[in-house]
Amino acid sequence: MKLVTFRCRGVQSIGKLVGNQVIDLPASDSLIPRTMLELLQSGPAVMARARAIVLEAAVTYPLADVQLDAPIPNPSKYLAIGMNYRKHVEEALAAGIKVPDSQVWFNKQVSCVTGPFDHVHLPIASDKLDYEAELGVVIGRRCRHVSAADAPAMVAGYLVCNDVSVRDWQMRSPTMMLGKSFNTHGPIGPWIVTADEIADPHGLSMRMLVNGELRQEVRTDEMIYDVWDQIAYLSTVMTLEPGDVLATGTPSGVGGAMKPPKFLRVGDVMRVEIDGVGHIENVVVAEPT
Ligand code: ZN
């Protein structure tokens, strides 16, 4: 199932995509809540109701007539792992960054979350804007102390992330948090592909194109710490909640590591594609004053 948060004539709802039609889930079944967070929190019985709705008995809109918002506009957490692809670690090493011997996690503040086709700001405060293609994991069950073996059952689904980064702000502090959290720097989407449709999240091809030029390309099996290890590690520390988003790392090819660096400019179009999941595309605009 492909789950969307969408807007039609200014009203936001959630839906599932069937072909080129968006089924409005709460309009088609009044027992289904109006937000993705509530749907994910409501558990398997309600999810099964969503799954059961067929086009013929549903309120639908053509996909072309709706605006897709971030599938989860308000996650309780958006966490991201750094240095999780070998070649990206090598390019970081070359840039003088120390390579860690354990998982490196940082916050993207949830206020950075934006839609799959929304504008991304070139901040007033920096011209070191960069992209990072990443596979996103959406947690489906409240959990703590999950083993890697049990982790797959905690996943609701997958989406495409661009971990937009402001490199000078990122490097000023070891937490990296500020440089990862500018408003609009968390485009996610275009939908959540439920976990039953992704046989293995480590068998996906992912790429980043900037203005049509291929910048990053990888298979997700090149992760150093796989998705299950990531969930096990994080849940050692904290309770993961339905709707929490984990960005699982970016491969080599970020603009800041190029010689000379190629940072993003106003008008640049970033497109992240993950086969079997979908794509997101965001244009860089000047941050409004
Ligand atoms: Zn990242």
The tokens describing 242, both together, are 């339905």
Q: What is the mean pLDDT of residues 142-150?
A: 98
Centre of ligand 1 to C-alpha 134, Å, is 7
pLDDT per position as a tens digit, 57-70: 999 999 999 999 99
Nearest by Cα to 122 from 114, 130, 111? 130
Share the mean pLDDT of the chain.
96
Burial (CB < 10 A; 0-12, 13-18, 19+), residue 63, is middle
Give residue 145 CA to ligand 1 midpoint distance, Å: 24
**pLDDT tens-digit readout, 236-246:** 999 999 999 99
Domain annotation for the chain: domains and CATH numbers: 2-69 (no CATH), 78-286 (3.90.850.10)
Ligand 1 is an ion; its neighbours by CB within 5 Å are 80, 132, 163, 250
Quote the pLDDT of residue 92. Answer: 77
Residue 190: how many CA atoms within 13 Å on its side-chain side?
A: 21
| Ligand 1 centroid, distance to 126 Cα (angstroms) | 18
- Cα(176) to ligand 1 centroid in Å equals 10
Instruction: Tell me, rounded to whole angstroms, the distance of Cα 104 from its chain centroid.
Output: 18
The contacts found for 33-37 with CB under 8 angstroms, 24 or more apart, are 35/5, 35/73, 35/74, 36/3, 36/5, 36/71, 36/72, 36/73, 36/192, 36/243, 37/72, 37/74, 37/75, 37/242, 37/243
CA of residue 248 to ligand 1 center, whole Å: 7
pLDDT digits (tens, 9 = 90+) for 260-283: 999 999 999 999 999 999 999 999
Q: What is the pLDDT of residue 19?
A: 95
Cα–ligand 1 centroid distance for 217 (angstroms): 14
Structure tokens at 204: 């996906």
Q: How far apart are CA 220 and CA 286, in angstroms?
A: 32
The answer to whether residue 90 scores a pLDDT higher than 90 is no
Percentage of the chain exceeding pLDDT 70: 100
Q: Tell me what the mean pLDDT of segment 184-196 comes to.
A: 98
The rounded distance, in Å, linking the Cα atoms of 159 and 134 is 9
